[in-house]
Amino acid sequence: MNQLEFELQFACDHEHLPTEEQFKLWLQTALEHLSITDKVALTLRVVSVDESQSLNHQFRGKDRPTNVLSFPFEMPQGLPPELMPEERLLGDLVACAEIVAKEAKEQNKPLHNHWAHMVIHGCLHLLGYDHIKDDEAEAMEALEIKILEKLGIGDPYHIDGTL
């Protein structure tokens, strides 16, 4: 089993947010499914629409809020061995509470299930998965489905998200 160093930041007030334990379970399940056994670290920040829009505009050139943004950590070149971190730094996830809730309602999915999906989706991005090309998207979606299944959550792409 991996060791997850996990920092959770709430930068907005929103109803029905998952607990720290839920966020951690979803991340641990994704890491375990991918057989990642080393010590890893990441930060998850839950933000407002304004902060999501600002970050999406600044880093992706899209002037609108989005459900989740992933910022993989890039190790600086030439870092002396004594300054290398003990854990594998994955990076930062930024999730917009209002957008996740809005999407869950629009897609007729339980909010808890959609949060799990978005956190797992973002985690996979931190690990290098993407969905730009069709074959990459299919592979990433298949992984998400298998990980969510381990949590008792159905296929988010083809049903209402329940088993």
Give pLDDT tens digits for 141-150: 999 999 999 9
Instruction: List residues forming the annotated binding site for Zn(2+).
Output: 121, 125, 131
- Any idea what DSSP says for residue 55? H
Strands of the chain, DSSP E: 4-10, 40-47, 68-72, 88-96
What predicted TM-score, i.e. pTM, was given to this entire model? 0.91
State the pLDDT at residue 43: 97
State the pLDDT at residue 2: 64
Structural domains in the chain, CATH included, are 4-72+86-150 (3.40.390.30)
Instruction: List residues forming the annotated binding site.
Output: 121, 125, 131
Residue-level length of the chain: 163
Pairing of strands 4-10, 40-47: parallel
> Could you tell me if 161 and 153 are in contact, meaning their C-beta atoms sit under 8 angstroms apart?
yes
Mean pLDDT, the chain, rounded, equals 92
* Confidence category of residue 86, pLDDT binned at 50, 70, 90: confident
State the pLDDT at residue 161: 43
Residue type, 126: L
Q: Which residues make beta-bridge pairs with 94?
A: 45, 69
Give pLDDT tens digits for 10-57: 999 898 999 999 999 999 999 999 999 889 999 999 999 999 999 999
Phi and psi at residue 80, in whole multiples of 5°? -60, 145
For the segment 82-105, the average pLDDT, to the nearest whole number, is 90
Name every residue whose Cβ is closer than 8 Å to that of residue 78 and which is 6 or more positions away in sequence: none
State the pLDDT at residue 162: 44
